[in-house]
Every structure is written in structure tokens, then in C-alpha cells.
Amino acid sequence: MPDISVVLPSILQPLAGGQSILTAPSKGTVTVGSLLDSVTGDYPVLARRLRDETGALRRYVNIYVAGDEVRRLQGLETEVSPGQEVLVIQSVAGG
């Protein structure tokens, strides 16, 4: 089955060794949470940028699956299908 891709914004790419896309195999049921565990396993600083130490998604980090922000779906429990592209996008915040 085709891998799942996670697309990072440019500001986070240095924390993933310069990569813009991280991939994970689609084995069994993959959720956004398990996908983040998988792709950030080698990049703990990147992991902490996206989620706090309780595992919660940071307030102004948005993750899109098939065009929908996961908070409008099932949050980190949202399932991801083989071959899908998951986008990490910072929300518009601050001044």
C-alpha cells in the first residue's frame, strides 16, 4: 500500500533534517496521532513543536487531512488512508 506523506511548512523543515515531506507506511489503521508518532520519532524537537508533552496538538498548529482541519474531524484520532497527504500548516495568529 502506498505510503502516507506529511508535508511540513518551510519553517519546520530544519528540524526534520531539511526534509519537506516525511513518509510513513500505511500499516493497519493509521490515525493522525499515530502518524505523527511515526514520522517524528527521529525528530523529537519537531515533535514538541507540533504537540505538547501531554500529546495535545498545539493551539495554533493546524493539520489537514483531505482538505479538512482535523479539529473538525476526529482530532488526532482522525484516520488517514493509504497514499494520503497530510498537511501541517501554522494558523494565522499573532501580531
Partner 1 sequence: MGCMATEENYVLAIGTKKGLWLATSQDRKQWSFSGPHFLMSEIPSIGIDTRDGRTRIMVGVRSEHWGPTVAHSDDLGATWTEPEQGAITFPSDTGAAVERIWQIYPDAESRPGVVWAGAEPISVWKSTDGGEHFELNRGLWDHPHRSDWGAGYGGAAAHSIVVNPAGDNVHVAMSTGGVYRSLDGGASWEPRNKGISAYFMPDPNPEFGQCVHKIAADAAVEGRLYAQNHHGVYRTDDNGENWNSIAEGLPADFGFVMLTHPRREGTAWVVPLKADGERIPPEGKLAVHRTDDAGGTWKRLDAGLSEHEYNSVLRDAAAVDSAEPAGVYFGTRGGMVYASADEGETFAEVVSHLPDVLCVRAAVVSGAGLAVPETSAARGA
Which CB, 2 or 44, lies closer to partner 1? 44
| Rounded least distance, CB 77 to partner 1, Å | 19
State the Cα–Cα distance between residues 22 and 46, nearest whole angstrom: 12
Which CB, 29 or 93, lies closer to partner 1? 93
Which CB, 2 or 9, lies closer to partner 1? 9
- For 53-69, give one letter per residue: b (16+ CB within 10 A) or e: eeeebeeebbbbbeeee
Binding site for partner 1 (CB under 8 A): 11-12, 14-15, 44-45, 48-50, 52-54, 56, 58, 60-61, 90-91, 93-94
Amino acid, single-letter form, for residue 72: R
